[in-house]
Structure 1
Amino acid sequence: MSIKLTGSMWHQLFQQHAGSAMSLQGKIRQMLVSAILDGQLPVGIPLPSSRELSVQLAVARNTVVLAYQQLVDEGYLVSRERSGYFINADILAGGQKKQIPGPETQASGGPDWERRFTFRPSLQRNIVKRDNWQDYPYPFIYGQYDPVLFPTASWRESCLKALSVLDIHEWAQDMILRDDESLVQQIRSRVLPRRGVWASADEIVITVGAQQALYLLADLLMGSDTPVGIENPGYPDARNIFGSRTRHLLPLPVDHDGLLPDNHLLKQCDYVYLTPGHQCPTTVTMPLNRRQALLQKAEESDFILIEDDYESESRFQGDLTPTLKSLDRHHRVIYVGSLSKNLAPGLRIGYIVGPAPLIAELRGVRRLMLRHPSAYIQRAFSLFLSLGHYDAHQRRLSAAYRERAKVLGDALARYLPDLHPVPISGGASCWLRGPDWLDVETLCRRAEEKGVLIEPGNVFFMQDTMQHNHFRLGFSSIPIEKIEPGIRLLAEAMHELRPSGIP
């Protein structure tokens, strides 16, 4: 039953929204809308006057006046002359929350969902990251961003420009099969040429990140018996996506130069997924001669290469190695890229480059799934690229990561000399092999108790080839001053697990 809220209750209700990033006016609006829709405010009793509520909440009166007025404009409140503000009863008509039945009132004899599932993605082996990773002082996890490095002003400028009347007229419509033409143009003229890739507009499709790109390709190209080769160790999400379509996954080993082109399993593949620019998770870069040999093998054995070119531009030294796509002369390579990975993973913008007939069908598959990625985000990203912000951000990020990689390498050499890290040549992570006695899962738990988060390497290996002594350290989201003390604590955790008799 609704009750009239006293001054202290208003203050308590307002505190529930104190953690919001919105302005005071926005927080007041949030508080009132929540209280209205949750049925906490009586309909027939006036709300406190703007003067009263401003005193109770310790805010300026004008802030309350503006909040009230906006809620009137939006239909939540009605203003009655010389009477005050009241809840608009029409808002609540037919919209009261229904009581959710408890366990004792749930109907019995429901469907057997276990029998109805065609497959169980929840049972797949996935990379697991704690939702509250930011609460840990030493988060050596990969794939998250550092808010200190995020170009807030530049991204805000791009978003505001995308809200101009002319831009809104472009992106507010249902684009169905189309993408933002300006973003496609920026990709083909600014992004791809740096990787030696040239494509026309009908050879590019925008996706909700590189992961959706892989899902679209699997949905379109792979059946239950399609033989698909995948790096081992390799990207778990790619393995799970392809594994949801085919039961014929072939593990392809990698060495210090990436995937081996002379592997006999390649002849059995219809498709081969690989990360030659920055191998996941080992971070090694495939040299030019091996790329050429792999393309030759693809032509001889008639398979298609799916090149995931993530983090390839984040090299700390030396020239960028040409992409497989740039070397491809016989349309054997489908190229997958991401725009948001190094900016903010939550933005989810990627793309696929391939022959026009393939791209046309991928657009059809995408339409069945979600029509198209957010047209507003596409336009904002297009502006972010055209204004030079993306290139500037990449330069700043590379400099910051180079510095962090140096500190991490020095700390590992000092505190954990019995580990074998792959030399960090770019990107934002380090792949390590520990001594044979090390159980990384146990090390992860022990390190977490000390506030240190690391990523066990088991999940990157195919089930039958799992190795227990590998792990990954990411440094994209940990402040540089936390790296050395974090590695010192990790060394303490590892020392505590060292078997007796082993120096």
Structure 2
Amino acid sequence: MQYSPLEPESENYGARGIAGLCRFGKQLQTAALGPTEFRDDQKVQMLATYFDTPFDPGRRLQHQIQERLIEAILDGVWPLHEPLPATRVFSSEIKVSRNTVAIVYERLVEDGYLKSVSRRGYFINERHIREQLNIRVDDHAKDILPTAEHPFNPQAFLTYSYAAQENISKPADWQSYPYPFIYGQLAPDKTSVARWRDCVRLAGTAQHAPTWIGDLVDQDEPMLVNQIIRRMLPQRGFRAEPDEILVTVGAQNALFLVAQLFCRPGVRTDMEEPGYVDTRNIFQSFGAELKYHPVDSNGMRVGDELKGARLVYVTPGHQSPTNVTMSMERRLRLLAHAETHDFIVLEDDYEHELNFIGAQKPSLRSFDRTGRVIHVASLSKALFPGLRLGFIAADRRIIRELRALRRLMYRHPSALDQRAMAIFLSEGHYDSHIRRQRKVLSQKWKKIFRLIETHLPTCQATVTTGGSGVWIRLPERIRAAELQSRAARQGLLIEAGDDRYFSPNSPRNRIRLGFGAIAEEKMEPGIKLLGQLLADSR
């Protein structure tokens, strides 16, 4: 088999092409000089360094072998004129089954990295690799490329700096903390993980694939919308038609869409204090004029101070971050003010299912008779927070506008994820998951209040009816941010509440303990440690 050196016109490459050819070019040149004989043991040794690291038992073995072989091919360590090691030799060297290696080779042939030659074996597909690396830059273009003499300053072009906002900060490695009282994360439910995997696999079959292969443009997966209407909304106390539902990439994306539609400079937007930082930042980014309303044991205070607002954001189910539930009297009063003073209510019901005392309270949307309530919910927060699926239920005229806006942003959420979620809901897995979550979290909820009473006698915990976190008032002289730093050094992860307040001279002695992710047996030693840190502060 003969190979020719690079054609003259192939010598002009961009950055990616140059980087690739630096690795692969030597093998192209070696191939042009003629074949070189290698023993099987030498061939395998050339790949050995790519398999020194042990395989990850949590990932599929075939995928890991394929990744490492592709890396070796692109690094140019294998001669083009020599077949890859025989499956028997290679499998013995890396200590896997011969069938596994054979499957990987066939997949690399399908993907174009290898080519199969009858009776000789598997060879690197030179043409395919060169097509990937061959990014040309015309000679005349090189003369007008920009230089460092004219540096670029992106800050001069920004109309608003999102990076400069004060954001909620949580360690990415929170799982490495012995006592992670972090809010917004959950301990993995192995049963739900297995059932979700089955639903994703089922969604990928020939029966369901036609529903997500094509572009939905601005539409949602009909099966998921139907499941939301049939299974989710009745628990929240209201009904809706398909054109009154919009699927989003999580509840936060829903909040952003609503804010973009209704917020602008000069438009007053009211919200709770303490409140959800990201929502405050979203409203600010669109130039809204913000007004804050205090929260007590019955939720946000509602009165004539709401006059003049155009949008009022509330978290009535479990107020963020205090977790208190808005009383029925205040819910009805809020809706009355909305009609009297002509404003829209943005209801964030992100944690509706996690109520442990009494019956579930109906949502604000269930009492809405004028179409002023925009109901935002999460499909994934209580299931898998990283899944990022949610929905909006609102007046069809509002949904029509939001749908057109969403189309400009990302058209629609993943249709595959939507179909998998629809299957998950239809087969009853979501309801089963919520029952298990409620059982586990209710036990933790009861326990953490007992532990606070026992080990944190100088602190005051806000009484709630459920949720996955507890809001705590520290002694007046204790500063939450300092306590958070000292606790982290001891492996105890807590959340200072400073950034949940937006007005000047706000309290600085509030913390939140999330108990969704921490193992129940770690709760008591963690709370004891927190009590010791508080005692040391005194």
Q: TM-score, normalised by structure 1?
A: 0.93
2: CA distance, partners of 1:139 / 1:81? 58
Change in CA separation of 1:87 and 1:458 when aligned onto 2, cut-off 3 Å = same
Matched with 1:421 is 461
Report SS of the residue matched to 1:121.
coil
SS in 2 for 1:394: helix
Out of 202-211 and 21-30, give the one that drifted further.
21-30
Unaligned runs of 5+ in 2: 1-22, 28-37, 136-145
- 2:123 is equivalent to residue 72 of structure 1: no
Corresponding residue number in structure 1 for 2:73: 36
Q: Equivalences for 1:206-355 in 2 at 5 Å?
A: 206-262=247-303, 264-355=304-395
Task: Give the conservation status (yes or no) of the 8 Å contact 1:184–1:204.
Answer: yes
For the pair 1:46 / 2:83, whether they are aligned, the reply is: yes
Shift in CA distance, 158/243, structure 1 to aligned 2, threshold 3 Å: same
- The one-letter code of the counterpart of 2:327 is P
Q: Is the 8 A contact 1:186 1:385 kept in 2?
A: yes
5 Å-filtered alignment, 1:422-461, equals: 422-461=462-501
Same amino acid, percent of matched pairs = 42
- CA deviation vs aligned residue, 1:228-272 (integer Å, no higher than 9, x gap): 00111111111111111124111111111011111x431021000
Q: Which has the larger radius of gyration?
A: 2
Q: Secondary structure at the match of 2:105?
A: helix
Q: Would you say 1:161 and 2:198 are equivalent positions?
A: no
| Structure 1 residue runs of 4 or more that deviate by more than 4 Å after TM superposition | 1-9
Assess if the C-alpha contact under 8 Å between 1:149 and 1:397 holds in 2: no
Distance in 1 between residues matched to 2:446 and 2:293, nearest whole Å: 31
Which segment drifts farther, 155-164 or 344-353? 155-164
The 5 Å alignment of 1:133-212 reads 133-148=174-189, 151-212=192-253
1:449-488 matched pairs, under 5 angstroms: 449-488=489-528
CA deviation after TM superposition for structure 1 residue 409, in Å = 1.6
Q: How big is each residue's C-alpha offset from its partner over 1:311-368, in whole Å with a ceiling of 9 and x where there is no partner?
A: 1221111011221110111112111111100000111111111111110110110011
Q: Name the Cα RMSD after superposition.
A: 2.0
CA gap of 1:150–1:304, structure 2 versus 1, over 3 A, is farther
Q: Does 1:390 align with 2:390?
A: no
| Counterpart amino acid of residue 211 in structure 1 | Q
**Can you list the C-alpha shifts for 1:189-245, whole angstroms capped at 9, x where unaligned?**
110011111111000000000101011111111111110001111111111111111
Q: What is the Cα deviation at residue 410 of structure 1? A: 1.9
Tell me if structure 2 keeps the 8 A contact 1:17–1:30: no
Q: Deviations over 1:82-134 (max 9, x none)?
A: 33221111222143399xxxxxx973422221111111111111111111111
Aligned partner of 2:306: which letter?
A: L
Change beyond 3 A, Cα 1:41–1:220: farther
> Per the alignment, in what secondary structure is the counterpart of residue 133 of structure 2?
coil
TM-score by length of 2: 0.87
Secondary structure of the structure 2 residue equivalent to 1:268: coil
Change in CA separation of 1:431 and 1:38 when aligned onto 2, cut-off 3 Å: farther
Give the aligned residue type for 1:383: I
- Specify which of 410, 426, 429 is matched with residue 370 of structure 1: 410
Report the equivalent of 2:19: none
Residues 245-302 of structure 1, C-alpha deviation per residue, up to 9 Å, x if partnerless?
Answer: 124111111111011111x431021000000111000000011111111111111111
Q: Is the 8 A contact 2:43 2:85 kept in 1?
A: no
Matched to 1:284, the amino acid is: V
Q: What's the offset of the Cα at 1:16?
A: 4.4
- Give the aligned residue type for 1:442: E
Conserved in 1, the CA contact under 8 Å of 2:87 and 2:98? yes
What is the DSSP-based 3-state SS (H/G/I as helix, E as strand, rest coil) of the residue aligned with 1:305? strand
Distance between the aligned counterparts of 2:79 and 2:182, measured in 1? 48
Q: What are the ranges of 5 or more consecutive residues in structure 1 without an aligned counterpart?
A: 99-104, 499-503
Letter in 2 for 1:43: L
Aligned 8 A contact 1:310 1:337 in 2: yes
C-alpha distance in structure 2 between counterparts of 1:137 and 1:9, whole Å: 42
Q: 1:10 touches 1:56 (CA, 8 Å); kept in 2?
A: no
Change over 3 Å in CA distance of 1:204–1:96 after alignment to 2: same
Letter of the 2:197 partner, please give it: R
For the residue of structure 2 that corresponds to 1:281, the secondary structure is coil
Following TM superposition, by how much is the alpha carbon of 1:72 offset from its aligned partner in structure 2, in angstroms? 1.2
Instruction: Return closer, same or farther for 1:178/1:38 CA change in 2, 3 Å cut-off.
Output: farther
**Contact 2:47/2:77 (CA < 8 Å) preserved in 1?**
no
Q: How many residues matched?
A: 491
Give 3-state SS (helix, strand or coil) of 2:92's partner: helix
